Structures are given as C-alpha cells and as structure tokens.
Chains A and B, each alone.
Chain A
C-alpha cells in the first residue's frame, strides 16, 4: 500500500487525533492532516487531494455520520474511503454507518492491532474492487 496516502483525521478531542496520528505514523503513514469536526473537515476534503478519512462520530458542529453522508453525496468525493473510529457502540449505529457507506468501524477504546487490521482490510477490498 502507498504509504504516502494523504489521510485526514477528524476528531474533536486533540488527544485522540494525536493518538490516531501516532499509530498511523508507526504503521508508516506519515502524510496525515487533522480537523476537529465535520464542519472543518468538509472544506479541506473539498479542496481535494485526500485519499483516506479517519473520523469520530460524536462531534459538535457536524458529526462524523453527517460528514460520511456528505462525502457519499458529493460525486467528486463519493469514492473516498472512510474509517469510523468512535465510542458509539450501539448495534443500530453500526447499521446506520454501514448504510451510509462506511468502509470500516472501530469502537473506542481500540488497539494498534485493530487499526492495522481495519486499514489492511479496507485497502485489500479497494484493491480487489479496482
């Protein structure tokens, strides 16, 4: 997998953004950028160049699920892979995210191993689909 992927990390907690960034860097993905909610993420995504989004669900302003729906609704971004990393762990929410077209779902708290697994799985599927 191209380790120079441009990744956007969206979370309202700066500590969690740092943790995700740290883990991604450990896995070799060093081209990471950050946004603190869907509202700030949206213009960044629209300005283009991002290859991957890791987003929280529960954020003020614009939630992760709304961001996901916005991405899927925008033709230029519709194919962008989105990994949700969230404390929301209700069955209905996972189904909602799946319906909205999420590529992966990680429940907080999570481990580095889980993150690697989900990333690998998403890239594998994308490669198969390509």
Chain B
C-alpha cells in the first residue's frame, strides 16, 4: 500500500507511545497500560479505516466513470438487440418489395405478350379484308372481330397501367428501410462515442463524461418488439373519428 496513512501517529510518536506502554507495564500499572494500549490500537485502526474509505471512494468513482451512467449497459442490453431487430425488418421489407416487384414485372410481361398477340390478330384481319375484296358479309364479321380485339387491347392496357402503378408503389420500402437504417447508424455512432470515451477513461486521458445521446423522440416504422405498440390505419381512423375528425 503506497498511500500514506493519514492520521496515523508519526514514527517518533509511535516509539514514544510504545516506550510509555513499556514503562507502565514495568511499573505494574495494569489499568493505565490497558487504557493506553487500547487508545494506541484505536489510533492505528482509524488510520486504516480512512485509507480503506479513500480507496473505496476512488474505486467507486472509477466504476461509475466506466459505466457512463448506465449508457454502456443500455447500449449492450437494449439498443444493440433493437438495432438487430431493426435490420431484420429492413431485410424483410426489402425482400418483400423485391418479390412484389418481380411478380408485377412478370404479370406485365404477360400483358405485353397479350397486346402483341392482339395486334397480330388485327393485322391478320386487315390482310383478310384486303384478300376478300370486302363483301358486306365478311366485312361485318371482320368488324366484330376487330372490335373484340380492340376492346381486349384496351382492357389489357388498363391492367398494365394498374400493375405499373403498383410497381411504383412497391418502391416505398426504400423510405421505410431508409428510416430504419438511419436509426441504426445513429446507434453505431453512439457506440463508437462510448468506446472512445472508455478508451480515454482507461488511458486516464480525460475525466470527461459521455455526452448524453439525443434520445430520438420519433419511433419511425413500427417494428414488432422494438417500437412501442403501434396502431393500424383502421385504429388511427377510429381514433381520429373519436376526436371528431
């Protein structure tokens, strides 16, 4: 133990006290000896107590410094698992969006084939019209067939347009995934900051405390087990209705 024991009687004082005790013992004054001996021991104990108390305090400070007001334990215990769930969510929505996009692309490809076939029918009809030198009978049959093909093309282009619209909407995952990734990025920065401070604290470079990380007030996309209970569009509608909307 390198620290000097404060309040401990100095060496000369200890020698003097011990000599007094020897003298009392030699003189046979047991009562006085017992009293002085007890006070001598007490003085020594007190010094030790103070020293232990100081050590305890500095140890406590060091531990508190390292815990950064529980920030590290919060990061390790809650925020990292949160971040993992959030990234799982990103993986899920991007996968769903990719499938949705591919499904719609395949449907659109079939529809364009339909249109191609229909235009082929139309050109065949035109050739027939030319070949038949247009008797009224064949002409009316052709008109019906051409009209059917035309309405088929109109229907198919409507279907195509509807799918293209869904295709565009499927891209919304980028917004939702992007929001989640931003949150995880914030967490990574926070972990980095805590680690740097831990390094500084252990190297004794600074006594600085970690700056409070700005707690994000907004929760972003609802993720099971991560964000607080979220409501659905229907819940939101009835809530707004209750509020007079």
Which of B25-33, B130-138, B201-209, B219-227 forms contacts with chain A?
A: B219-227
CB distance from B224 to the nearest CB of A (A): 12
Residue on B with the closest CB to A87?
B221
Q: Are A94 and B169 in contact (CB under 8 A)?
A: no
Residue in contact with B172 in the complex, picked from A16, A90, A104, A105, CB distance below 8 Å: A16
For the complex, is A114 an interface residue (Cβ under 8 Å from B)? yes
Q: Which residue of A lies closest to B96 (CB)?
A: A109
Q: State which of A18-26, A32-40, A70-78 sits at the interface with chain B.
A: A18-26
Chain B 196-240: CB-based contact to A (< 8 A → 1; otherwise 0): 000000000000000000000011111000011111110110011
Interface members, chain A 72-122 (any B CB < 8 Å): 87-91, 93-95, 98, 103-112, 114
Q: Check if B13 is an interface residue, CB within 8 A of chain A.
A: no
Q: Using Cβ atoms and an 8 Å threshold, which residues of chain A touch B245?
A: 98, 103-104
Label chain B's interface by main secondary structure: helix
B175-A16 in contact (CB<8A): yes
> How far, in angstroms, from A58 to B227 measured CA to CA in the complex?
15
Q: State A105–B169 Cα separation when bound (angstroms).
A: 18
Do A19 and B172 form a contact, CB below 8 Å, given A58-B220, A90-B219? Answer: yes
**Do B178 and A13 touch across chains, with their CB atoms under 8 A apart?**
yes
B168–A18 touching, CB < 8 Å: yes
A95 touches B243 (CB 8 A): yes
What number of residue pairs across chains A and B have CB atoms under 8 A from each other? 92
Q: Cβ of A88 and Cβ of B233 under 8 Å apart? A: no
| Assembled-state Cα–Cα distance A21/B123 (Å) | 38
Q: Are B171 and A18 in contact (CB under 8 A)?
A: yes
**Contact mask for chain B residues 117-156; partner A; CB cutoff 8 A; 1 contact, 0 none:** 0000000000000000000000000000000000000000
- B85 at the A/B interface (Cβ < 8 Å)? no
Given A13-B175, A107-B236, CB of A19 within 8 Å of CB of B220: no
B172 pairs with A89, CB closer than 8 A: no
**Smallest CB–CB gap between A16 and chain B, Å?**
4
In the bound complex, residues from chain B placing their C-beta under 8 Å from that of A105 are 236, 240
Are the CB atoms of A94 and B239 closer together than 8 Å?
Answer: yes
B175→A110 contact, CB < 8 A:
no
Take A13-B175, A94-B240 as given contacts and tell me if A107 and B233 are in contact as well, using a CB distance cutoff of 8 Å.
Answer: yes
Check if B80 is an interface residue, CB within 8 A of chain A: no
Any A CB within 8 A of the CB of B191: no
In the complex, how many angstroms separate the beta carbon of A121 from the nearest chain B beta carbon? Answer: 9
Residue on A nearest B180 in the bound complex, by CB: A87
**Shortest Cβ distance from residue B163 to the other chain A in the assembled complex, whole angstroms:** 12
| List of B residues within 8 angstroms of A13 by Cβ | 174-175, 178-179
Determine the distance from Cα of A116 to Cα of B219 in the docked complex, in whole angstroms: 26
Sampled A-B contacts (26; CB under 8 Å): A11-B175, A13-B178, A16-B174, A18-B168, A18-B171, A19-B171, A19-B172, A19-B175, A22-B168, A22-B169, A23-B168, A26-B165, A87-B175, A88-B218, A88-B220, A89-B232, A90-B219, A90-B227, A90-B231, A91-B231, A98-B243, A107-B231, A108-B172, A108-B176, A109-B172, A110-B233
- 14 other contacts beyond A94-B231, A106-B233, with CB at 8 A cut-off? A16-B175, A19-B169, A19-B171, A23-B169, A90-B219, A90-B228, A90-B230, A91-B229, A94-B236, A105-B236, A105-B240, A107-B230, A107-B236, A112-B166
4 tightest A-B contacts by CB?
A89-B230, A13-B175, A16-B175, A87-B221
